[in-house]
Amino acid sequence: MSAVQTVLDAGGAGVPRLMERLEQRMAAITSGYGPDLVRHAGETIAAGGKRLRPLLVFLAAGVPPPETDGLVRAAVAVELVHSASLVHDDVLDRAALRRGRPSVMAAGGREQATATGDLLFARAFAELAGGGSADAVRSLSRASSALARGELMQRADAWSAEVSSSRYLERCRLKTGVLFRAACELGAIEGGGAVDALGSFGERIGIAFQILDDVLDITGPPERTGKPQGTDLLDGTVTLPLIIARERDPELAALDLREVRTPAQAVEICEQLAATGALPVARRRALELVAEAKAMLPPLPRRQLDVLELVADGVVSRYT
Inform me whether the pLDDT recorded for 284 exceeds 50: yes
Ramachandran bin of 48, using left for φ above 0, alpha for ψ from -120 to 50, beta for the remaining angles: left
Choice between 283 and 226, residue whose per-residue pLDDT is larger: 283
Average pLDDT over residues 246-271: 95
Inform me whether the pLDDT recorded for 46 exceeds 70: no
Inform me whether the pLDDT recorded for 53 exceeds 50: yes
Average pLDDT over residues 245-262: 95
User: Do residues 80 and 120 lie in contact, with contact meaning Cβ atoms separated by under 8 Å?
Assistant: yes
Calpha distance 149→156 (Å, rounded): 10
**Which of 105-119, 184-198, 288-302 comes out lowest in average pLDDT?**
105-119
Long-range contact list for 86-93, CB < 8 A, 24+ apart? 86/44, 87/44, 87/113, 87/116, 87/117, 87/120, 88/113, 88/114, 88/117, 88/151, 89/151, 91/117, 92/151, 92/155, 93/235
Average pLDDT over residues 73-89: 89
pTM score of the predicted model: 0.92
**Which of 52-61, 86-95, 173-182, 305-314 comes out lowest in average pLDDT?**
86-95
Reported as a single tens digit per residue, the pLDDT across 162-202 is 999 999 999 999 999 999 999 999 999 999 999 999 999 99
- pLDDT bucket at 80, cuts 50 / 70 / 90: very high
Average pLDDT over residues 244-273: 95
Choice between 28 and 110, residue whose per-residue pLDDT is larger: 28
Calpha distance 6→307 (Å, rounded): 9
Inform me whether the pLDDT recorded for 319 exceeds 60: no
Q: What is the per-residue pLDDT for 103? A: 67
- pLDDT bucket at 42, cuts 50 / 70 / 90: low
- pLDDT bucket at 320, cuts 50 / 70 / 90: very low
Among 29-38, 124-133, 229-238, top mean pLDDT goes to 229-238
Choice between 118 and 81, residue whose per-residue pLDDT is larger: 81
Calpha distance 172→243 (Å, rounded): 14
Calpha distance 17→187 (Å, rounded): 16
Reported as a single tens digit per residue, the pLDDT across 134-147 is 999 999 999 999 99
Calpha distance 246→118 (Å, rounded): 38
Inform me whether the pLDDT recorded for 125 exceeds 90: yes
